[in-house]
Amino acid sequence: MEEYQSIPMERTGKILRRSIYTFFQNYQFFTTTAALLAFPFSASILLSQALLLSSSLLPTIHFRLSSLFDAAGFPPSLEFFTILNLKLSQTIASSIIVLPFTLSFLLFAKASIIQALNHQKPPLQPSFSSILSLYNPILVTQLCNSFVIISANATCFSLLFFAFNSLDAFGYSSPNSLLFLSAIGAVLYSIVLANTIIICNLALVSSGMDNKCGGYLAILKACVLIRGRTATALSLTLLVSMALAAVEALFQYRIMRPFHQAANPTYSMALEGMFIAYLYSILIVIETIVCVVFFKSCKMAYWVDQKSRHSYRIDIEGEAGLASANVKTIEDLP
């Protein structure tokens, strides 16, 4: 009972320490089976940036988004929309390239980690059949997550569309006003997108921990569990995202830049690239472990909140019944 009472007071540091402890508790499984399952996805996500330079997919998506922004009436002179267009184009193009690896290797890696941690005892190496049983609900949830992320982006763009056009209609289209509104829009867009990604990651874990709960039901469950714990989730996501971005930057600096300069890959460069991709896989494994530990923390904290709320209501009802009985006794006195 003391364990459940301490869970609502957990902070980011405690969740990270527990995640690292869980990682080293079954170090062999996480660094071999789980990391190797995630390795093809890691290699594809790192190489996708190089493939985009020689592909016509990125310019096509960039041109379509530019046309969409111009048609919506967004000011083309603002640097915010230029950067947003470029980042969106890169994200969409990279997601299309790595989509087969995402729906196969990445989901299998996450399913193996979730299955290994779905026990009260120290995690054991799960069988392939048990991992396969989690794949279908996780796949359905991943597809639903994609629609939710698209909907969140569309909602943000719609709000920006109404804001900029309303500002222009009321005659406040000065450069300072547009700059101020674009700064507010950038902050709100980042907050909405970050919370959406957190909920989607939590829903993916929820569908794996409870294979009867998948798809939009898992997303709704994640929305309920994360209430009051958004700050912790944002800090955890920020730390993991910074680590993944650092590995991507390392790959660009150590592999892609010498490759473009020399135009002749060497054996040592290929080995170093494989090592960086493996390091990226390890971070994906740690990210999934953090999500699982955070999900268990949210679930137990929600259980404690509900139990304390019901016990408080029972106490109130008991006190009210006792008070009414006392009033009745007083009224019966002569």
- pTM (two decimals): 0.82
Identify the pLDDT of residue 211. 65
Report in angstroms the alpha-carbon separations of 273 from 119, 278, 327: 35, 9, 80
Please tell me what DSSP assigns to residue 9. Answer: G
Q: Which of 36-40, 126-130, 294-298 has the lowest mean pLDDT?
A: 126-130
pLDDT for 164-176, tens place per residue?
778 777 776 677 7
Mean confidence (pLDDT) of the chain: 80
Rounded to whole angstroms, the Cα distance separating 177 from 183 reads: 10
Q: Is the pLDDT of residue 333 over 70?
A: no
Of 14-23, 109-118, 295-304, the least confident: 295-304
pLDDT at 1 over 60: no
Q: What is the mean pLDDT of residues 121-141?
A: 80
Distance separating alpha carbons of residues 281 and 39, to the nearest angstrom:
5
Least confident of 38-47, 255-264, 304-313: 304-313
Model confidence pLDDT, tens digit, residues 178-208: 778 788 888 888 888 888 999 999 999 999 8
Provide the pLDDT for residue 173.
66
pLDDT top residue among 82 and 142: 142
**DSSP state letter for 7:** G
Mean pLDDT of 242-249: 92
Give the contacts of 48 (CB within 8 A, at least 6 positions apart). 93, 94, 97, 98
What integer pLDDT is reported at residue 244 of this predicted model? Answer: 92
pLDDT tens string 270-282: 888 899 999 999 9
> Per-residue pLDDT for 330 more than 50?
no
Q: 8 pLDDT exceeds 50?
A: no
Which residue would you say has higher pLDDT here, 333 or 178? 178
Arithmetic mean of pLDDT, 254-259:
81
More confident residue, 1 or 310: 310
Identify the pLDDT of residue 3: 43
By the 8 A CB rule, do 7 and 300 touch?
yes
% of the chain surpassing 70 pLDDT: 82
The predicted model gives 109-131 an average pLDDT of: 79
pLDDT at 38: 94
Angle at 279 between CA 240 and CA 106, to 5 degrees: 70
Q: What is the mean pLDDT of residues 239-245?
A: 91
Token code pair at residue 328: 């009745």
The 3 state secondary structure assigned to 21-37 is: HHHHHCHHHHHHHHHHH
More confident residue, 80 or 31: 31
- For residue 79, give the amino acid letter: E
